[in-house]
């Protein structure tokens, strides 16, 4: 990342730090290392460092940087972890996670729309992350072949926490999901200890999670 983009990225990161949204060195470093302009359509690269969601095609979006930062901080990621993301979108969030968990960790990211999954795959390749695997499918079912996961992050609006995801979460694992209706959700953090503990982390708006344990497609 060079020149103007680097400057814009640093400004965005500083602003998110000043607002108390980026708190840890890990999330700060990941934001500086994984350039968001590689993950947006060509005609939007100039807007890549605005703190807003941007369209990526098929009615979907790359999430706003502040939302991504809030979720990454809540995930409490550690080196070497195995993470499942539901909603690959542009692939940016998956690469940020991959940067934090390092080469010994692995991110499986599921996307339901094949053309968006292709977009994510191309972006992940451009960014050079070998520890991210993009899978096409209904992420509300999780991804059985690689379970259990240390962390699960849902990046689309869910009506409920999908049961298969809770089952595929490792004991002491953390799951994050925006849960609510199609227009407004609350960000929930689930910690799977002996009992499942749920805390709430503010309101948000995501595109809908569509699938067996999500919303119907129309
Ligand atoms: N994490 C993404 C990024 O870094 O760009 C942003 C995700 S975008 C807000 C939500 C994505 O979830 C969309 O691409 C949408 O197609 C996808 N999605 C919706 N329902 C899904 C499902 N059941 N399984 C997998 N992906 C789904």
Specify the ligand 1 atom closest to the Cα of 39. 5
Mark residue 76 as left, alpha or beta (left: phi above 0; alpha: psi -120 to 50; beta: remaining). Answer: left
Q: Which helix (H) or strand (E) holds 133?
A: strand 132-136
How much is the pLDDT for 22? 98
Q: Which one, of 17, 152, 146, lies nearest residue 74 by Cα?
A: 152
Instruction: State which of 57, 65, 107, 111 you would mutate to test the pocket of ligand 1, scoring each by most atoms of that ligand within 8 A of its C-beta.
Output: 111
pLDDT digits (tens, 9 = 90+) for 45-98: 999 999 999 999 999 999 999 999 999 999 999 999 999 999 999 999 999 999
Over residues 145-188, the pLDDT tens digits come to 999 999 999 999 999 999 999 999 999 999 999 999 999 999 99
The ligand 1 site (C-beta within 6 Å) comprises: 60-63, 86-87, 89-90, 92-93, 110-113, 116, 138-140, 155-156, 206-207, 209-211, 214
Model-wide pTM > 0.95 = yes
Give the atom of ligand 1 at the shortest distance from the alpha carbon of 211: 23
Specify the higher pLDDT residue, 2 or 204: 204
The pLDDT, as a whole number, for residue 4 is: 84
């Amino acid at each position: 990342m060079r020149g103007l983009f680097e400057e814009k990225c640093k400004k965005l990161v500083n602003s998110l730090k000043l607002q108390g949204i980026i708190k840890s060195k890990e999330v700060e470093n990941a934001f500086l290392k994984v350039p968001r302009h590689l993950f947006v359509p060509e005609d939007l690269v100039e807007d890549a460092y605005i703190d807003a969601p941007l369209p990526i095609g098929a009615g979907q979006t790359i999430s706003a940087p502040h939302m991504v930062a809030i979720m990454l901080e809540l995930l409490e990621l550690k080196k070497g972890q195995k993470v499942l993301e539901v909603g690959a979108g542009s692939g940016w969030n998956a690469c940020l996670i991959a940067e934090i968990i390092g080469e010994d960790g692995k991110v499986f990211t599921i996307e339901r729309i094949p053309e968006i999954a292709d977009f994510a795959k191309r972006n992940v390749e451009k960014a050079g992350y070998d520890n991210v695997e993009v899978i096409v499918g209904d992420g509300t079912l999780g991804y059985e072949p690689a379970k259990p996961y240390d962390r699960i992050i849902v990046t689309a609006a869910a009506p409920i926490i999908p049961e298969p995801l809770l089952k595929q979460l490792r004991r002491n694992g953390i799951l994050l999901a925006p849960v609510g209706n199609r227009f407004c959700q609350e960000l929930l953090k689930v910690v799977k200890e002996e009992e499942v503990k749920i805390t709430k982390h503010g309101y948000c708006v995501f595109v809908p999670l569509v699938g067996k344990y999500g919303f119907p497609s129309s």
